[in-house]
């Protein structure tokens, strides 16, 4: 019963097998291998457009390198106050971006409010050199709070961003979950809605460590792309045996593998949500559109779960195991490897605890 994160399990066996297969023989190093080309081709198919792609090992590197490639050191990146880049990357965007500034925006379930963005972009930089200047909008879909942006919402935010001279970056660490949960195409959820750069995460959806930084309209973005390549090397993120990454991504994108993995995570998330909703005193507090739930657990339920070995994080992290003395707030994440039995066991434990304490 591990609901700590979608990266607490290893990779799917198919990914490991692909890595083993790709391991044979001598190949061009530093990304100059045939698999890397095939990945780029495959992504063009999936996204129905031209693009350039670069592979890195972590989502933090993907996001920070992407943002640094479109923002000067005196740029402002607009993001939700609860975004991963704001809360969980130890200042990586500021580091890679030479001291750029994040501007935190509000919004329910970690979705940026359109009006807040519009106001903030207008205000930012109005005093010329005295202020940092609008440089990028960073969205996350699926959001950190498990919610979905629709293509229309993305398009509205992107339009505002572009009008304010901002590039649009999408942190897609759970992009596959968003595609599956929304029923929209990858294109609709990205470039057709104004996204310029997508960080497409495979690590949380069955890979071992592989993230794709995708630049749409590569000719228009030639300068950012050139900058990315130097920054990646300089950041220590150009792996010599590039097949490590390309083999993972190639296998992950083959057929509907990547979507199937996300479909499983989402299904487990929805199964968990349905089960918990039926239990008195347990409350789901977010718009749990896919595989992430935020729940309020009565303290006895929490203790019962912990005693049974259930693993999950409390949010915010500064909360103690006693929460507010009555309940705790917990984050439950389902992964592509979460067995239905784990979900059912968790629900069962909650139900038991409620019955006993009632």
5: tokens are: 């994160």
- From 35-43, 60-68, 180-188, 260-268, give the range in contact with a second copy by CB under 8 A: 60-68
Per CB under 8 A, contacts with a second copy among 257-286 are none
User: Is 347 within 8 Å of 275 (Cβ atoms)?
Assistant: yes
Options 42-50, 69-77, 264-272, 284-292: segment touching a second copy (CB under 8 A)? 69-77
232 belongs to the binding site for a second copy (CB under 8 A): yes
CA atoms of 12 and 211, how far apart (whole Å): 15
Q: Looking at 106, 218, 235, 275, which residue binds a second copy (CB under 8 A)?
A: 235
Nearest approach, Cβ of 343 to a second copy (angstroms)?
Answer: 14
Verify binding: residue 290, a second copy, rule CB under 8 A.
no
Per CB under 8 A, which of residues 313..352 are in contact with a second copy? Answer: 316-318, 337
Q: 279: burial class by Cβ within 10 Å (0-12, 13-18, 19+)?
A: buried
Segment 78 to 107, residues that bind a second copy, using CB under 8 A: 87-92, 94-102, 104
> Is 291 among the residues that bind a second copy (CB under 8 A)?
no
**Which of 198, 239, 293, 330 lies at the binding interface for a second copy (CB under 8 A)?**
239
The token pair at 216 is 């749409």
CA 25 to chain CA centroid, nearest Å: 34
Could you say whether residue 223 binds a second copy (CB under 8 A)?
Answer: no
Annotate 63-84 with b (16+ C-beta within 10 A) or e (fewer): bbbbbbbbbeebbbbbbbebbb
Stretch that binds a second copy, among 149-157, 202-210, 265-273, 286-294 (CB under 8 A): 202-210
Query: Please, which residues have CB within 8 angstroms of residue 252's CB and are 6 or more apart in sequence?
Result: 15, 202, 205, 206, 207, 210, 258, 261
- Residue 203: phi, psi to the nearest 5? -55, -40
At closest approach, how far in Å is the CB of 30 from a second copy?
8
Report 122-151 residues binding a second copy (CB under 8 A). Answer: 122-123, 126-127, 129-133
CA 262 to chain centre: 12
Residues near 303 by beta carbon (within 8 Å), at least 6 away in sequence: 353
Residue 33 or 40 with smaller CB distance to a second copy:
33
Grouping H, G, I as helix, E, B as strand and the rest as coil, residue 241 is coil
* 92 vs 349, beta carbon nearer a second copy: 92
- Sole binder of a second copy in the list 145, 184, 231, 302 (CB under 8 A): 231
Residue 358 binds a second copy (CB under 8 A): no
x-marked contacts with a second copy along 163-182 as a string, rule CB under 8 A: --------------------
- Count, residues near a second copy per rule CB under 8 A: 83
Sign, CA torsion 130/136/142/148: positive
Nearer to a second copy, 86 or 178 (CB): 86
Given the rule CB under 8 A, which of 159-167, 189-197, 236-244, 279-287 is the region that contacts a second copy? 236-244
Question: Measured from the CB of residue 58, what is the shortest distance to a second copy in angstroms?
Answer: 5
Q: Among residues 39, 56, 297, 310, which is the contact residue for a second copy, using CB under 8 A?
A: 56
Q: Is 246 in the site for a second copy (CB under 8 A)?
A: no
Give the C-alpha separation, 29 to 32, whole Å: 6
Element (H, E) at 214: strand 211-216
Distance, CA of 35 to CA of 65 (rounded, Å): 22
- Answer whether 330's CB lies under 8 Å from 336's CB: no
Q: Running DSSP on this structure, what letter comes out for residue 190? A: T
Is 60 near a second copy (CB under 8 A)? yes
Copy the structure tokens of residue 150.
Answer: 């629709």
Supply the minimum distance, in Å, between the C-beta of residue 101 and a second copy. 5
Q: Which stretch binds a second copy (CB under 8 A): 58-66, 189-197, 249-257, 301-309?
A: 58-66
Does 43 bind a second copy (CB under 8 A)? Our answer is no
């Amino acid at each position: 019963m591990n609901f700590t994160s979608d990266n607490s399990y290893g990779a799917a066996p198919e990914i490991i097998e692909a890595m083993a297969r790709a391991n044979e023989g001598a190949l061009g190093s530093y990304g100059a291998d045939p698999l890397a080309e095939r990945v780029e081709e495959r992504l063009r198919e999936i996204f129905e457009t031209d693009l350039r792609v670069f592979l890195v090992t972590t989502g933090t590197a993907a996001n920070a390198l992407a943002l640094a490639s479109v923002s000067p050191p005196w740029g402002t990146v607009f993001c939700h106050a609860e975004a991963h880049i704001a809360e969980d990357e130890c200042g990586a965007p500021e580091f890679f971006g030479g001291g750029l500034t994040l501007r935190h925006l509000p919004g329910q379930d970690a979705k940026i409010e359109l009006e807040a963005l519009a106001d903030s972009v207008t205000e930012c930089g109005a005093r010329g050199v005295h202020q940092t200047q609008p440089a990028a909008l960073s969205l996350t879909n699926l959001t950190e709070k498990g919610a979905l942006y629709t293509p229309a919402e993305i398009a509205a935010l992107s339009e505002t961003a572009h009008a304010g001279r901002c590039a649009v970056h999408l942190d897609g660490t759970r992009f596959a979950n968003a595609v599956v949960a929304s029923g929209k195409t990858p294109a609709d959820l990205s470039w057709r809605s104004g996204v310029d750069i997508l960080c497409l995460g495979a690590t949380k959806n069955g890979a071992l460590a592989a993230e794709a930084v995708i630049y749409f309209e590569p000719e228009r973005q030639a300068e950012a792309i050139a900058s990315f390549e130097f920054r990646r090397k300089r950041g220590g993120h150009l792996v010599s045996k590039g097949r490590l990454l390309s083999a993972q991504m190639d296998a992950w994108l083959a057929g509907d593998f990547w979507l199937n993995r996300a479909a499983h995570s989402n299904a487990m998330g929805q199964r968990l949500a349905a089960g918990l909703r039926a239990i008195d005193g347990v409350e789901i507090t977010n718009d749990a559109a896919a595989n992430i739930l935020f729940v309020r657990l009565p303290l006895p339920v929490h203790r019962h779960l912990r005693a049974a070995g259930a693993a999950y994080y409390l949010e915010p992290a500064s909360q103690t195991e006693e929460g507010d003395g009555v309940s705790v707030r917990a984050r439950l994440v389902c992964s592509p490897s979460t067995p239905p039995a784990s979900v059912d066991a968790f629900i069962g434990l909650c139900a038991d605890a409620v019955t006993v304490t009632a």
